Amino acid sequence: MSEPPLLEVRDLRKSYRVGGREIEVLRGIDLALARGEMAALLGASGAGKSTLLHCLGLLDVPSAGSVRLRGVDASSLSFAQRARTRNREIGFVFQFYHLIPELDALENTLLPRWIGPGAGPRRSSWEERDRAGALLGRLGLGDRLLHRPAQLSGGERQRVAIARALFAEPEIVLCDEPTGNLDSRTGSEIVDLLLALNRESGKTFVIATHNPELARRCPRRVRIEDGKILDGARVGGDPGPGHAG
């Protein structure tokens, strides 16, 4: 018997009720992601990319259909189990970084350890601080560990956000417009970094983006239109530089 996909949604639907009117955003999404995949999630503004990411990341609950992580239906989990699964298995990177202004880069990276079960502010072990420092070093911020977000550039802030997403070593990293707030050169550097991290770590990345360079360089592209996956075919001829050699 073959292993189930790492992350899979089946006939996923999501509607919102606003002012007594039902808006159907996702109308039957089917998508399977294997371990180590790197997929760009494309579609017009309002197509439902963020909505799908929130469902994939167990931040939001679909109106119908299933989200399965290693074959386990998320709807079968209790609230606490969902939260634990999310903390352990899924990292998030957002357009506007969502860093805590009062904390430095190292502390922001350690943040998931502060809010998880059994964690508390500044109770990180030396081992954890070393690991966070090494991770920030890998992301090119070795000499910025004690800088607060206001003392960092946009690209540097996004690197800290990436470090925070990776710190718990999640299997899945969901990124929502990670280059949306960056100039094209800095955005390109973040694209390089995401591709390298995918290659090095074998983690699965799903990246909602309007950035054509990021879309082009992702080995897989999934497009949402009219609430469905229009085109999620694997791209045969152009695996992208991230997968060369």
- Judged by the rule CB under 6 A, the positions of this chain that interact with ligand ATP are 16, 18, 23, 25, 43, 45-51
Return the residue nearest Mg ion (CB atom): 50
- Least separation in angstroms between residue 20's CB and ligand ATP is 12
Asked whether 15 and 24 are in contact (CB, 8 A), the reply is yes
Kindly tell me the burial class for residue 7, based on how many C-beta atoms sit within 10 Å of its own C-beta (0-12, 13-18, 19 or more). buried
- Size of residue set near Mg ion by CB under 5 A: 2
Cβ proximity to ligand ATP, 46 vs 212, nearer residue:
46
The mark string for 4-43 relative to Mg ion (x by CB under 5 A, - otherwise) is: ----------------------------------------
**108, interface contact from Mg ion, ligand ATP, none, CB < 5-8 Å by kind:** none
The C-alpha atoms of residue 41 and residue 58 are separated, in whole angstroms, by 17
47 or 160, CB closer to ligand ATP?
47
What contacts 9, CB < 8 A, 6 or more positions away? 29, 30, 31, 32, 52, 55, 56, 62, 65, 66, 67, 68
Query: Taking Cα atoms as reference points, which of 63, 14, 37, 32 lies closest to residue 219?
Result: 37
Contact letters for Mg ion, residues 115-154 (x by CB under 5 A)? ----------------------------------------
User: What radius of gyration, in Å, describes the C-alpha atoms of the chain?
Assistant: 18
Angle at 239 between CA 235 and CA 244, to 5 degrees: 165
> Residue 211 interacts with Mg ion (CB under 5 A)?
no
Residue 41 CB, shortest distance to ligand ATP, in Å, is: 8
Among Mg ion, ligand ATP, none, what does residue 25 contact (CB within 5–8 Å per kind)? ligand ATP
Is 204 strand, coil or helix? Answer: strand
Is residue 50 within the footprint of Mg ion (CB under 5 A)?
yes
